[in-house]
Amino acid sequence: MSVRRLAEENVQPAAFAFSKDNAVWAKATIKKYPKGREQSAVIPLLMRAQEQDGWVTKAAIESIADMLTMPYIRVLEVATFYTQFQLKPVGTRAHVQVCGTTPCMLRGSEELISLCKKRIHPNPLTPNESGTLSWEEVECQGTCVNAPMVMIFKDTYEDLTVPQLEYIIDRFDAGKGADVKPGPQIDRIFSAPVGGPVTLLAPEKKPAAPRAKKASDDAAVSVPPSNAARPKTDAPETDPTLKTPVTAKSESAANDKVSGETKAEGGAAKPAAAAAKPSLDDKNRPAGIAKPDALDDLKLISGVGPKIEGTLHELGIFTFAQVAGWKKAEREWVDGYLNFKGRIERDDWVKQAKALAKGGEAEYIKVFGKKPR
């Protein structure tokens, strides 16, 4: 992370003043705090100053310190501590803060940084030629589970790939950043598992109740229901009701079967193996085409986000007409390739694509009674 210092004197404006509306807002914000605790408003005020001028100037720091009767150094400490505050002019349309902390780094943040260097400017905190974009590397932004991620102004964009981030930067550069939905850029709800929840789905089937005890059982060695209750021994235990001896291993396997899981050798539970990804050489893979000059916006199909669109492009799928023409086997191939678990059928991509191919959004609204996406 870079050292956070105020911008050089030659770019600092001589004075700072909140606009009329912001001054009213600042007064009301300070009043929210108890008497003697007005300094608690320092972060909201600094943030409002940044939103007004695009960055936090030295004059703004001093002005806010005066408003809150704080020593300048205290406000300077706050402004220089939090990377949310920009201490020098940044891109007017997007300042891309790429998390470079370990989880994001392990999931590809270095490639995202390389893209920023190429697409925006080789140096961090330096706006591009037109002054619209800038970038910097920051520490953990708290969405590690959806790594890698970037923050642009107050929003985070997660589960990123290089093409995905390039798309997001392009939208912001075109002044259309609002088109990009913040949060995960893949088929994931907030930080839930990819593809949907995998736990607490339905009550688990309970094992059959133990049979009633008979007098003849008294002589037999009973097998406790779990390993926890069983005294440790290496010798196989015997259940007279079974033909084969019950060992700790075989009982454990039986218990695992009930829970629908298999256990790794170390004993940790792991989900049953996922279905293998279909091969790219499979005969059911839909035919791709060369990238046409005019692409259809596949994201208009419900279930297709920027990442999935990128994957479809990699497969040579660029138009609604292509999707509309997929046969069942082809749909199944794509569904398996995207690990969608039947979502292509559930969302009826073919019907959506047919409508979009026929008459764009207007036809889609006619068919589905709502706007696409």
Report which residue type is found at 111: E
Shortest spacing between CB 190 and ligand FES, in angstroms: 14
As measured in angstroms, the least distance from the Cβ of 139 to ligand FES is 8
Q: How far is the CB of 164 from ligand FES (least distance, A)?
A: 16
How many other CB atoms are there within 10 angstroms of residue 306's CB atom?
Answer: 23
Cβ proximity to ligand FES: between 63 and 141 the closer is 141
Report in angstroms how near the CB of residue 131 gets to ligand FES at its nearest. 27
Tokens of 136: 């910097």
Minimum CB distance to ligand FES smaller for 59 or for 140: 140
Site string for ligand FES, 138-177 (x = CB under 6 A): --xxxxx--x-x----------------------------
For ligand FES, the closer CB: 64 or 147: 147
Instruction: Tell me how far, at minimum, the Cβ of 140 lies from ligand FES, in Å.
Output: 3
Binding residue for ligand FES (CB under 6 A) from 12, 101, 132, 319? 101
Nearest-approach distance from CB 157 to ligand FES, in angstroms? 11
Minimum CB–partner distance for residue 109 and ligand FES (Å): 7
Distance CA 369, CA 260 (A): 41
Q: Does 90 bind ligand FES (CB under 6 A)?
A: no
Give min distance, CB of 44 to ligand FES, in A: 24
Residue found by looking up tokens 């694509």 in the block: 353
- Letters for 103-122 (x = contact with ligand FES by CB under 6 A, - = none) are xx------------------
Instruction: Determine the interface stretch with ligand FES among 47-55, 98-106, 181-189, 332-340 (rule: CB under 6 A).
Output: 98-106
Beta-bridge partner residues of 356: none
What's the count of helices (H) and strands (E) in the chain, helices before strands?
13, 7
Q: Which is nearer to ligand FES, 45 or 116 (CB)?
A: 116
Alpha-helix runs per DSSP H in 143-247:
162-173
Stretch in the footprint of ligand FES (CB under 6 A) among 134-142, 167-175, 198-206, 306-314:
134-142
Task: Give the residue among 211, 240, 214 at the shortest CA–CA distance from 225.
Answer: 211
**CA pair distance 108, 63, nearest whole angstrom:** 41
Helix (H, G, I), strand (E, B) or coil at 269: strand
Residue entry with tokens 């050089």 = 8
Output 142 or 207, the one with its CB closest to ligand FES: 142
Q: CA-to-CA distance for 30 and 40, rounded, in angstroms? A: 8
- What is each CA distance from 61 to 32, 74, 93, 111, 264, in whole angstroms? 20, 9, 23, 35, 57
Closer to ligand FES by Cβ: residue 100 or 286: 100
Min separation Cβ 55 and ligand FES, Å: 23
- Piece of the chain touching ligand FES by CB under 6 A; list 66-74, 137-145, 208-216, 349-357: 137-145
Q: Between the CA of residue 141 and those of 105, 181, 301, what are the distances in Å?
A: 13, 18, 31
99 forms part of the interface with ligand FES (CB under 6 A) = yes
Residue 317 neighbours by CB distance under 10 Å: 20
- Burial class of residue 146 (count of CB atoms within 10 Å of its CB; 0-12, 13-18, 19+): buried
Distance of CA 95 to the CA centre of its chain: 19
Question: Please, which of residues 304-323 interact with ligand FES by CB under 6 A?
Answer: none
**Order of strands, sheet of 94-99, starting from the edge strand that comes earlier in the sequence:** 133-138, 94-99, 150-152, 155-158, 183-184
Q: Looking at beta carbons only, is 86 or 141 nearer to ligand FES?
A: 141
Q: Which residues bind ligand FES (CB under 6 A)?
A: 99, 101, 103-104, 140-144, 147, 149
